Amino acid sequence: MPAAVVERPNLPIEMRDALKKHILRERQRKKEEADANEADKQRRRAEKVFFFFLSTSNRLI
């Protein structure tokens, strides 16, 4: 028995545009969050390396 084909009704233009705008806004927000998280990770890595070298340089003196 074939699967039932259900077509979804067309959205009004205003609703479609609002949905598109919402989706694009969410994608942009998630991208900005991911970029901020990556920048934070890089900053923490740099601080970790800096403090490691700072602590080892004290031992050399």
- CA 54 – CA 60 distance, rounded (Å): 10
- CA 49 – CA 61 distance, rounded (Å): 19
Long-range contacts of residues 52-57, Cβ cutoff 8 Å, at least 24 apart: none
- CA 39 – CA 49 distance, rounded (Å): 15
pLDDT at 56 over 80: no
Q: Judge contact between 11 and 19, C-beta under 8 A.
A: yes
pTM exceeding the 0.85 threshold for the entire prediction = no
Q: How confident is the model over 28-50, as pLDDT tens digits?
A: 999 999 999 999 999 999 988 88
